[in-house]
Amino acid sequence: MENVVHDKVVKDLMPARFGKAGVIWTSTLVVLCIIGLVAYIEQLREGLSITAMRDYASWGIYISNFVFFVAISLVGSLITAIFRLTNVQWRTPLTRISEIIAVAAIIFAAIGIIIDMGRPDRLWHLFVYSRLQSPIIWDVIVITTYLVLSVLFLYFPLLPDLPLLIKGKEANPKGFAGKLYKFLGSFWKGKDDQRKYSETAIRIISVMIIPVALSIHTVTSWLFATTYRPGWDSTNFGAYFVSGAFLVGAGGVVIAMYVFRRAYHLEEYITDKHFDNMGKVLVMLALLYLYFNLNEYLVPAFKMKKAEEHHLKSLFTGEYARLFWSVIVLGMIVPVIVLLFKKGRRPLPMFIMGILVVVGAWYKRFLIVTPTLLSPFLPMYDVPESYTHYHPTPAEWAITISTLSGALLVITLFVRYFPIIPIQETIEEREANLNPNS
């Protein structure tokens, strides 16, 4: 009986070659990445003048995209670490999905900072001439640490699956996949001491990654909060950013769950129950984020200090009002309402709500970064009128979209070569369910 379970799980969860849709999807991502790369080469040649960033909006969609990536990467600690430490039983099929999202996002968050640099050839100055007093250095330190921990958190639980992959039908020892699997896991024999070391490592990472993940987003929020600007001058920013990050991360996992379930026919593993549970998590996180939004906007709006008036009015009734209210309503309130109902927590509505949350979250980062810069406490004298608005150029859009495509490409390629649901862990869980007394 156990062999039957083993064989079925292995058969169901082994990575498979792309179908027609997979090839089209991957090709599209590659093309978008190439377009972005061409635009970036142009930016290297011409400088940041090809962007719409000027003296007022010195941070545009590159930085809001960076904050978005940092935010969505937090899901690794939520699903994998918090759920693992609190022994949430239904987490298994979601752990690897969330970890690869975290790794892909944090890689492109780091790339995002370099893209925003006018002189990327001076990146090394950041390390050689770093000042520990600067929040930017804190960000560099925590991003590097989080990236390393996330890769380890992806790798250690992957070890037991690698021998299965080596034996599997993809395992042409001379092919790319075969060589990759052997390099990564030919030494895994499932011995007791190996399991013990691996479990110890996973436990350590589960504990460590939570404060590191919280720091990465808190420190990113401090990049803003330590700058005296309307909308950023808040003591609440760390918690506000972390709560938003949990929301977008959970939204990202929901989208990935739906896509992988459909693409690889994983209905037996990513069940309606998983969607139902994630729906409840999403409601809780959306309400939490709404609470912080209320704090961030209602309290300053109640006082309506003269210096902050321009910024708040640009969001509530001005240039960014349509975007602002769309994000609040579609990205937070509508998901809460829909997901409160059991029918709303079924896969398709969940998928749609996940998209609303993630797209809303991307634009939310834009609303945090740019309108503030367009409303300085001390307006500049005699600047061209165009400087007081920000409309990203096609090059900026191309580069930004290419980073998003790049992150999706990393996830896609990972899924092509590795099981997106942990095979060995699933087998052990199922066997344990069959023999509860063993």
Binding site for other proteins (CB under 8 A): 129-133, 138, 141, 145, 148-149, 152, 156, 159, 186-189, 191, 193-194, 197-198, 200-201, 204-205, 208, 212
The least distance separating other proteins from the CB of residue 268, rounded to whole angstroms, comes to 31
Yes or no: say if 331 and 361 are a contact pair by the CB < 8 Å rule. yes
Cβ closest to other proteins, residue 200 vs residue 317: 200
Query: What residue has token string 């997106």?
Result: 420
Cβ closest to other proteins, residue 121 vs residue 193: 193
> For residue 170, what are the CA distances in angstroms to 166, 261, 265?
8, 21, 19
The least distance separating other proteins from the CB of residue 130, rounded to whole angstroms, comes to 7
As a whole number of angstroms, the distance between CA 108 and CA 345 comes to 30
Closest CA to 51 of 318, 391, 303: 391
CA-angle at 25, arms to 24 and 27, nearest 5°: 65
As a whole number of angstroms, the distance between CA 334 and CA 82 comes to 26
Cβ closest to other proteins, residue 201 vs residue 401: 201
The least distance separating other proteins from the CB of residue 87, rounded to whole angstroms, comes to 22
The least distance separating other proteins from the CB of residue 179, rounded to whole angstroms, comes to 17
Yes or no: say if 54 and 90 are a contact pair by the CB < 8 Å rule. no
Cβ closest to other proteins, residue 181 vs residue 289: 181
Cβ closest to other proteins, residue 194 vs residue 326: 194
The least distance separating other proteins from the CB of residue 201, rounded to whole angstroms, comes to 5
As a whole number of angstroms, the distance between CA 148 and CA 154 comes to 10
Cβ closest to other proteins, residue 205 vs residue 270: 205
The least distance separating other proteins from the CB of residue 211, rounded to whole angstroms, comes to 9
Closest CA to 347 of 268, 263, 255, 416: 255
As a whole number of angstroms, the distance between CA 198 and CA 194 comes to 6
DSSP annotation of 380 reads P
Cβ closest to other proteins, residue 148 vs residue 340: 148
The least distance separating other proteins from the CB of residue 158, rounded to whole angstroms, comes to 12
DSSP-derived 3-state class of residue 159: helix
Q: Where are the alpha helices (DSSP H) in 226-303?
A: 237-263, 272-293, 299-303
